[in-house]
Amino acid sequence: MTTIASFVSISDAKKKTLSMISDSRISWTTDEKPDIVVNKYDFSQKIFKIEDTLDIFGYCGDSLFCLSNISQIISYLRSSVDYREADAIEKRRNIIYSLIEDSINNYPGHEIRQSFRVYWNSIFGEELYSFKFFYKKNTGKFDVTQLEIPEKTGLVFKDGSGETFYGNELSTYYPSSEPTSRFFFKALVDVIEKEHDSKTGGPPQMACLNHFKKSITSVSILYKSKYYLNGVHDIYSSNGENVEFRDTDFNFLTPEGKTRNNYTGSFPKK
């Protein structure tokens, strides 16, 4: 499965950023022992973006269905005139819902092995939005719900096989001070590095909707001495205009790995 979360950050100047974070592991189990990981791949993309329409998507649950269909749907949305020119967020929501529903109906039902959730964060007009599309394997039900965006820096959602561990790690930061982006990111790193959940692993992924700039920033993360962008080894120098470089302590870095602005002291060491 995975560990995925989203949070909103609001600066003193009231600038808002809606971020989504995830690990990079997909894992294989057997029908007889669904909780035992028999194989894994630690470099799979789990966060996707559409820059023109300011959308970020992520998923947890059935990896084969989600990877083969969600990436295809996102590619289609990039070319869809109706989606791009929609005059209400509900119209875009309905288009996404219809496309995922068609994928479910056309997919061999017995090959959807697990329930899954697809998360969609978006800027539309002057507002930030977050939606959860969810499919329940045991009932075959597919639905969508809108998630609340906090009015101050806070969590929008957490999900996946590592959800409980993520919440536990996050709670250890809160007693010392008000939550910050670093807390939410560092809690995911803790779940990965401490190997709490066998289905969570690999380099962290992160993408951010910048409400004040009307833009998307991806984050190339220095993990085990290598940069990774959306799970891919960032060996060919991603575009620094659209990408931030950070380490697992959430320090800003240069593309060469030098520290730009050290935040290490901003959260309690454990």
Positive or negative, the Cα torsion across 91, 96, 97, 102? positive
* Type of residue found at 210: N
Q: Is 110 exposed, middle or buried (0-12, 13-18, 19+ CB in 10 A)?
A: exposed
Tell me what pLDDT residue 261 has.
61
Confidence of residue 265 (pLDDT cuts 50, 70, 90): very low
Segment 60-69 shows an average pLDDT of: 95
Tell me the pLDDT tens digit for each residue of 102-130.
999 999 989 999 999 999 999 999 999 99
The rounded distance, in Å, linking the Cα atoms of 222 and 248 is 7
Report the alpha-carbon distance of residue 223 to residue 204 in Å, rounded.
Answer: 8
Q: What is the mean pLDDT of the chain?
A: 93
Judge whether 74 and 57 are in contact, CB under 8 Å. Answer: yes
Distance of CA 6 to the CA centre of its chain: 7
CATH 3.60.20.10 matches 3-266: yes
